[in-house]
Structure 1
Amino acid sequence: MMHSNYKEALYSILKKEQEISLESAQAIDESYRMIIFLQELLANMKRQIIDHQFTNESEEIEFFKIIKPQIMGKLIYYNKVYRIETSCPVNGGKIYYKYFSAELQHLKCEYKEHICNSDFYRYYRSGRTDKDHDFFKLGKINLNTGLNSFIFEADTQFSTYYDYKISRIIANELLYNYLIFKINHFDKPEMASGNGESAEKIFWTESQNALIELIYALHISGAISHGKIGIRKISMAFQMLFRTQLGDIHHAFHRMKDRAGNRTRFLDQLKSSVEQYMDKDL
């Protein structure tokens, strides 16, 4: 396998994430689609490596230390997000907040128990390379070090064991950021503003469909981040700001497309209101 193929694989992940984020309005759908994509990508890379092998030692080490963990780490992350989101008992309120807080606590316990105190974690975090030959080459697994029993299930043609440990570190970091966002910003907007009293005074007084219409208009026009942020993320920001739940905005938007008469009712109303206000100053 050529070295450039590795870089293209990582780029394809970023491209796919952006594509799915633009199309999907729900974390469940987004994570499921990424799981399928990453599984296929990993399977293709495995076939290529088994068929063509590595051209040299440095390429093998780079693959198992950097390339594969980036792919596997994202796969573990999206699988955890899918599991968490599909098990969530409610869409908001105290139970919702407690659910994601419990998931965060579980992640912290896992980190303390299995990751932070290990010699390998310190090796990886320090940026050392002196033992890369032992950690990231096929057939170099040393059972005398007392490795986790997972090693007996690992594919020795496509794993050095330690590539999986880095994958878990990457996945846990991504999941930590995801859970912090869910806890601090989605259901607790006052924590993001730093002023609970002022945040409570900002709320949406029009219909949910009106807000969805506005969100789609801003997204489609590229008015937010040049259109490079997905509709789901924009929707989450508005729900956080206005302390409201919008549900499945994709289905709501498609129902608007079938409206009889004016399909952009709220946007036209905004335009009319602004023009009337301008006329008062003439």
Structure 2
Amino acid sequence: MEIVLSKILSEIRHQEDKLSSQMMQTADEAYQMTLFLKEMLCTIKTNVLQDGFKDEHREIDFFKNIKPQILGKLIYYNKVFRIETTCPVSNGKIHQSYYENQLKALKSEYKESICNEDFYRYYRADRTDRDHIYFRLGQINYHDGLKSGVFEIDLSFSTYFDNKIAHIIANELLYTYMLTKINPEKNPDTILMNGDTHKDISWTNSQNALIELIYALYASKSIAYGKIGIRKLALIFQILFRTPLNDIHHSFHRMKTRAGSRTAFLDQLKISLEEYMDKDL
């Protein structure tokens, strides 16, 4: 069984674009995406239980990279649906206060359930030395004092830690969503032109490549004379290309110390442009 992450992400983006083009209310769009992602996950689960994995590498890749992307967005859209359908009013101070309280609750959950755990630091450090423990079925060590949620998951389709990554992804998406609700005047959607013109635009290189480009534009003050902060600039690119960027600050600091060229993507851009120029000579 071969499950390819790029294909999964492409299918999700296609469904997001399809629903977005129908100009639905946020709650309706979130509900439809929840149904879509739930069905996708159920189909993949059936295939996994039936066919298993060819080798350890594919099993680790699935539970570390593929399933969390689907489950993370499923958690995100379900949460957005719940938030939108319980919002008391559509504008005003109560509306503002509602989303501010939601953001506080999200930050509290992040501090209590995510950032203080050893696994979170392992994941953020891009370590792989314990992948064979964290992302293979049947490797849960109850002596680690895991939270009770471990008893609520289907251990035939979860290593427990894939769920943790999914919640990290969902948390980051929800954080961005909350900020745009609290500060609609700073919402990058209003900075961009009509969204319909961007339906077919997607980033097809790596996340690190996009982060490298964003920091280059920020450092060179090429956009708004450098008056736009790095977080807001990253948010604009995330919405423009409809792709989440995980912890850009951490990724940037890893770039500063990586072997070889620290600006690999920018170097390749220069080479590609020069080759393109030479075609006209």
Task: Report the TM-score, using the length of structure 1 for normalisation.
Answer: 0.67
1:225 corresponds in structure 2 to: 198
Contact 1:18 1:228 in 2 (8 A): no
Shift of 1:11: 1.6
Equivalence for 1:199: none
Equivalence for 1:104: 103
Q: Which amino acid aligns with 1:147?
A: L
Query: Where does structure 1 lack aligned partners over 5 or more consecutive residues?
Result: 194-214, 230-282
Alignment partner, residue 146 of structure 1: 145
* Alignment-derived partner of residue 9 in structure 1: 8
State the partner residue of 1:64: 63
The answer for the alignment partner of 1:271 in structure 2 is: none
Distance 2:51 2:23 in 1: 37
Counterpart of 2:127 in structure 1 is 128
Show the 5 A alignment for 1:82-93: 82-93=81-92
CA gap of 1:101–1:133, structure 2 versus 1, over 3 A, is same
Q: Secondary structure at the residue paired with 1:88?
A: coil
In 1, Cα distance between the equivalents of 2:123 and 2:94? 37
Task: Provide the C-alpha distance between the structure 2 equivalents of 1:168 and 1:155, rounded to a whole number of angstroms.
Answer: 16
SS in 1 for 2:61: helix
| Distance (Å, rounded) in 2 between the aligned partners of 1:58 and 1:192 | 40
Alignment of 1:16-35 (within 5 A): 16-35=15-34
Q: Which amino acid aligns with 1:170?
A: I
Question: What amino acid is aligned across from residue 2 of structure 1 in structure 2?
Answer: E
When the two chains are superposed, the root-mean-square deviation of aligned CA atoms in Å is 2.0
Deviating beyond 4 angstroms after TM superposition, the runs of 4 or more aligned structure 1 residues are 226-229
- Give the Å deviation of 1:227: 7.2
Write the distance in 2 (CA, Å) between the matches of 1:89 and 1:192: 21
Q: Which runs of structure 2 are paired with 1:1-282 in the superposition (5 Å)?
A: 1-4=1-4, 6-185=5-184, 189=185, 224-225=197-198
- Which residue identity does 2:170 align to in structure 1? A
User: Residue type matched to 1:107 in 2?
Assistant: L
Q: Which has more radius of gyration?
A: 1
Q: Equivalents in 2 of 1:69, 1:102: separation in Å?
A: 27
Matches of 1:3 and 1:228, distance apart in 2:
24
CA apart distance, 1:226: 6.6
Cα distance, 1:154 vs structure 2: 0.9
Cα deviation 1:101-131 (Å, max 9, x = unaligned): 0000000011111111110000000000000
Question: Normalization by structure 2: what TM-score?
Answer: 0.67
CA contact (8 A) 1:139 1:156 kept: yes
Contact 2:17 2:199 in 1 (8 A): no
Q: How far off its partner does 1:7 sit? A: 3.4
Q: For the structure 1 residues 87 and 140, does the alpha-carbon distance in structure 2 shift closer, same or farther, using more than 3 Å as the test?
A: same
Please say if residues 22 and 228 of structure 1, whose CA atoms lie closer than 8 Å, have aligned partners that are also in contact. Answer: no
Counterparts of 2:115 and 2:150, CA distance in 1: 20
Q: How many residues align?
A: 198
Matches of 1:184 and 1:78 in 2, distance apart? 20
CA distance in 1 between counterparts of 2:166 and 2:31 reads 19
AA of the residue aligned to 1:58: H
The sequence identity of aligned pairs, in percent, is: 50
Where structure 2 has 5 or more consecutive residues not aligned to the other structure, the ranges are: 203-281
> Using CA pairs below 8 Å that are at least 6 residues apart, which structure has the higher relative contact order?
1
Query: 1:58–1:101: structure 2 CA closer, same or farther, 3 Å change rule?
Result: same
Could you report, residue by residue, the CA deviation over 1:213-238 in whole angstroms, capped at 9, with x for unpaired residues? xx9xx67xx6x437769xxxxxxxxx
Distance 2:198 2:158 in 1: 39
Check the 8 A contact 1:77/1:175 in 2, yes or no. yes
Closer, same or farther in 2 for the Cα pair 1:29/1:3, shift >3 Å?
A: closer
Q: Distance in 2 between matches of 1:166 and 1:192?
A: 27
